[in-house]
Amino acid sequence: MPPRPPTPKPQKKKDPLWIPRAEVSEAVRGTQRAFQIHICIAMGLISAASAPITPPTRYKENFAVRFQTEADFSSVVRNLGQFPTHQSHKKRIQAARIYFYNHAATGNSLDKDVAMVEDLSLTIFYTTMDQYGFKSWCPDLSESSSSLYNNCHQTLAIDSFQQACVMGGYRRFSVNPEYYNSTTVLAQIYDSYVFRTIKDKSRKEARDPGALERRKESNNTGKRRHTVR
């Protein structure tokens, strides 16, 4: 009796939010990378060893009081021009620059990219955050990407990024207006990066504290060995 053929392993179901690199055209990659860096700045992630924080309970409670429905948030978006904004964000930008600079010498590509972002992009992000009434930008990765809370954070990220691109804040990344003007494209990039890539990092760090830092050090060691050869 011939041996029974091995049972094929069941294929993993593809995450609908995940966009494999092979499916991203060369024309989109500059815009994709710039938006990912924009998101990292918003979340305070300055290296591959960084994991996002969980939104503080008080922050979510304040959000729930102000935005009880999608209509509440839409009303704010429609009337952005009527909300006062801070005249200067020099102190916040300076603090961010120091924060980024202190991590830029690690040789990690994320650090280098963040250091390349112009002050204009930071000014636009902080101003937009003020206009939306956000004290900080902290999506909840434990919730659905389509929850009201997370949808509002996505809208702020896309809005501020588009403004920064139009004003030339990400020109060093060769952003393409065909893609940064497309809310649909940016929403796909956002969901894939925040609710797949960053969320996976957050889970790994929660299961094994320090795992991201060890992986980063291992990658840097491998790069140094390759350079020596």
Asked if residues 165 and 117 have their Cβ atoms less than 8 Å apart, the reply is: no
Task: Check pLDDT > 90 for residue 143.
Answer: yes
Instruction: Look at residue 8 and tell me if it is in a domain.
Output: no
| Rounded Cα distance, 38 and 93, in Å | 14
Q: What is the mean pLDDT of residues 82-98?
A: 68
If you search the block for the tokens 């815009």, which residue do you land on? Answer: 31
Q: What is the pLDDT of residue 45?
A: 82
Which tens digit of pLDDT belongs to each residue from 144-175?
999 999 999 999 999 999 999 999 999 999 99
Instruction: Look at residue 72 and tell me if it is in a domain.
Output: yes
| Token reading at 150 | 């997370």
**Which residue in 203, 216, 220 sits closest to 54, CA to CA?**
203
Instruction: Look at residue 5 and tell me if it is in a domain.
Output: no
Instruction: Look at residue 116 and tell me if it is in a domain.
Output: yes
- Containing domain of residue 192, as a range? 24-211
Instruction: Look at residue 60 and tell me if it is in a domain.
Output: yes
| Rounded Cα distance, 195 and 83, in Å | 30
Q: What is the pTM of this model?
A: 0.80
Instruction: Look at residue 171 and tell me if it is in a domain.
Output: yes
Q: What is the pLDDT of residue 144?
A: 94
If you search the block for the tokens 């929660």, which residue do you land on? Answer: 206
Instruction: Look at residue 219 and tell me if it is in a domain.
Output: no
CA of residue 108 relative to chain centroid, distance: 17
Helix segments in the chain, DSSP class H: 26-43, 57-66, 70-78, 90-101, 109-116, 119-132, 148-166, 177-180, 183-192, 199-207, 211-228
Of the pLDDT bands very low, low, confident and very high (cuts 50, 70, 90), residue 228 is: very low
Instruction: Look at residue 158 and tell me if it is in a domain.
Output: yes
Task: Check pLDDT > 90 for residue 6.
Answer: no
How many folded domains does the chain comprise? Answer: 1
User: Taking all residues of the chain, what is their mean pLDDT, rounded to a whole number?
Assistant: 80
